[in-house]
Each structure stands twice: as C-alpha cells, then as structure tokens.
A and B are shown apart, each in its own frame.
Chain A
C-alpha cells in the first residue's frame, strides 16, 4: 500500500526522492479521509517551500485540507493534469496524483520523516481510534 522508497509525514504527505528532486503528494489515507477531490490549489513554479509550512490546499466536495511541506526547497514543476482531473489524487494518490516537484534545499530534512513501516503503523493507530 505505502511504497517502501517513499517518506511520510504525520499530516499524511509523502515524498519520493529522484536524485535531488523531491516529488510530493498526499497519501492514500489522506485522500480517503478527504473524499472526492475536486480542486488543488498549488504554488507556482519558482515558489519557495519551508518544511512544516502550508504550501497549498486540496479540496474535496466537503472539506478543505491544507498541505504542509515535508521538505524545504523550490518548486520546479506542478502537476498540470490535476487541473482538469483532480480526481486523479483519489485514483492514484502515490503515482499520477502527485502534486509538485521540489528542488531540495536541505536533503537532511528527509531523515526526520517516517518510513513506510512507521507510517503504516501510524495510520493503523488512526484507524483504530476512528472505529473505537
């Protein structure tokens, strides 16, 4: 479910490293909690992100969810396909539903994030709370 080469945050974002470029998205857990995604408000190419700070929103029919930057850096690409097909975030959250690509400013920030095992355990705990 959660790719082993990705890193994850407590706010349910994921990061995938490709050389010095980080691809960011929201997790399957996040898209499921949010419901049908209808709009993603994302920064422009060139925008600077600071780890831990909100950089945009993903909206479903019912809710608005802020997205927090897992890492610092500069936006080098935005997923333009989401403009006409925001539901891709629901259908393929860890793949085609990526949000932005960032040129890392401080690669060491990645070590502070969860690996897939830790994230899976974190999500399992959330789900247990919800069904209690």
Chain B
C-alpha cells in the first residue's frame, strides 16, 4: 500500500463544503480541487444558460505597492499597465527574456501605487520570485495568495443573482472593471471578469467568509438555476471560448505572437522583460501558430495528440475535448504558420485512428450581447 499523497495538497477554505456536496476531488497543480459535482456537461450547460459558481481560491495573488509600483508592473508584464485607471483590470503576460511565458495573469489597478496580480495557482511561487527578482524599483512585492478566497459567479443570470446580495451598482460595472463593496455583508473586490466566455463576476475576499458566501450564493441563486461547478466545466467552458490555459496553449516555449495574443504585447510602452526577443520574432515572423479545430467525426482529440498535415507531422493538440454546449469535438493545436488558414485539413492521431479535422475560426463560442 502506498500512502495517500492528499495530505500534502493545499486545500481551499471550501474543501469541506465541496465534499459535503459530493464533489469529485482531484490534485490540480498541488491543490485538492473539485473537478465536478453533478457532472461536467450539466455544470457547463448551467453556466451557459443560467449560472455557475466556481471556487477558484487556488488562484494566486501578488500585490505590488509603492510609488514605483507601476514601473515594476510595466517591466515584468507585457501589456501596457499605464493605460489602466483605478478599478480597471487587464489580461497580460509575465515573460522570460526569450519572450516566452512565465505565466499569464490579470493585472488589477487598485490605485496608482497599488496593483493586484492574479496568477495561476501552480505558478504562484515561481511568479512571486520572478517579480521580486526584477524589482530594481524598490516597490513592495507581497505574495498575498493566502489572504484571499476567490469565487467566480458566471453566466447570463450571474448579475441578477449577485444583485440580491449587494447594494453596489454592479449592473453598471463594465467588463474588466472592479470595485470594492459588500456582498452578503463581506467586503469584496468585485470584478466583472471571468474565464468561461459568459458575463459574470469574480469575487476576492478574506477566506474566513468563504463558506457563508458560497452557501448563500448557491441558496440565493437556486431558483435562477445556479449550480456549483468544478474545474472540469471551467476547462470545457474556457476551451469553447478559446481562452488559453497555462501549461497547454502557453508555457515557457511559446510566445504571444505564436499564441495569437499579440494584443497583450505593447512594445511601444517602453522596456519590459522579453521585449527585444518579441520584436525580433515579429520581424522574422513566427514558424508556428495556435489554431482551433473541429474534429469531423465522432472521435475526441485529447491533449498531446499528434497533428498531421499533408502526411507530415505538424504539431500537437494543446487542449482537446468534447464541447458540451456546441456539441462538437474541438481543440486547439500549434501548426506551421503556412498551414494555419481556416479550413485547412488536419489529421489527428487518436490512438489507432487518424481523425479528420479542419481548422476553425476562434472563438468557437461567443455569447450574444
């Protein structure tokens, strides 16, 4: 008998709540997290048609403070944080000097001298060391992950549900804006952000209030159809919305240009880590590009399946799954840039089969506004 390793895993403040709900728990990047409760398909569809509540407290937070906070944020991230105003957030990248990804993240400007970076759970310690190692500006950098729980309430009913618990004017909060206010009596950072392709909110608050907020949002949203959702649905939702996942579409071998994330790369803002390498790659052109594909028969492409074009090995699937809302088998993959046009025929090796697929426009799913 081997000893269970679960004892070494990090747990969120909602671990017991997930178990009470009968969640299937898995090790996700060193965190014991719920992968599903009532089933991935059910949870996925609830989020697309009503609302889903996700415990994403494993996500890491890093705060950068002080008069030169912006200088440090600008130097370690690829997007132009000088464009942010108080209460605004954006998607960005922490890059290596080769222009590849250390991590992707959300940068929130709380005030001119206070920024909150939300990073991937499994990269939190690496990211913190990275930011600190580039801090020649004397900014204060703190790893504040343990100070926050994070819940994501996502879906077309998210606003109506959340409004029952707050007097804050969240209906007028624009996409990628945030405010501090009480939700259910708990002061939260309320951000209109998410990772599902739906309207919704992400709440950051002290962990001791986790059970109360979680239970009250589920109870208060029940009539509207809210369901607790796990990381399984979070993954299929983000894949339908063609959002990148670190360790899959992006990692320390891929660049913003290859991942079609050029919009978070702002070389004109001044120097930042990876800038020179990215400018050089922009001049020379990329050899490979991230594409979306639809499999044309019943077979399901999975992560790491080899991709062939015209009989030649062309790349690998970065994420592949059935798409529960679109009812198709979809995925993303890197292919040679010259073979990346929409409609290009691919063959994906799925066990003993060669499944026919075609490059499809991304995002696969876009909500009606």
Query: Which residues of chain A have a CB within 8 Å of any CB of chain B?
Result: 35-36, 38-39, 41, 57, 59-62, 64, 90, 129, 132
Contacts and interface: CB of A to CB of B under 8 A. Distances in A.
Pairs of residues from A and B, 8 with the lowest C-beta to C-beta distance, nearest first: A61-B40, A36-B41, A38-B322, A132-B4, A36-B39, A62-B232, A61-B322, A36-B40
B40 A64 contact: no
Interface residues of B, number: 20
Given A36-B40, A41-B299, 16 more contacts: A35-B24, A35-B39, A35-B232, A36-B39, A38-B41, A39-B298, A39-B299, A59-B300, A59-B322, A60-B40, A61-B44, A61-B236, A62-B35, A62-B36, A62-B321, A129-B4
B232 A61 contact: yes
B321 A61 contact: yes
A37 to B, nearest CB: 10
Interface string B296-337: 001110100000000000000000011010000000000000
Contact of A61 (B41, B298, B299, B351): B41
B24 to A, nearest CB: 8
For A36, A41, A132, the residue with the greatest tally of chain B CB atoms inside 10 Å of its CB is A36
Contacts of A59: 300, 322
A39 B322 CA distance: 10
Contacts of A35: 24, 36, 39-40, 232
B27 interface: no
Contacts of B232: 35, 61-62
A132 B4 CA distance: 7
Contact of A39 (B40, B44, B300): B300
A38 B300 contact: yes
Contacts of A41: 299
Nearest to A86: B298
A132 B298 CA distance: 38
A59 B41 CA distance: 13
Nearest to B302: A64
A64 B44 CA distance: 19
B351 A57 contact: yes
For A59, A61, A64, A129, the residue with the greatest tally of chain B CB atoms inside 10 Å of its CB is A61
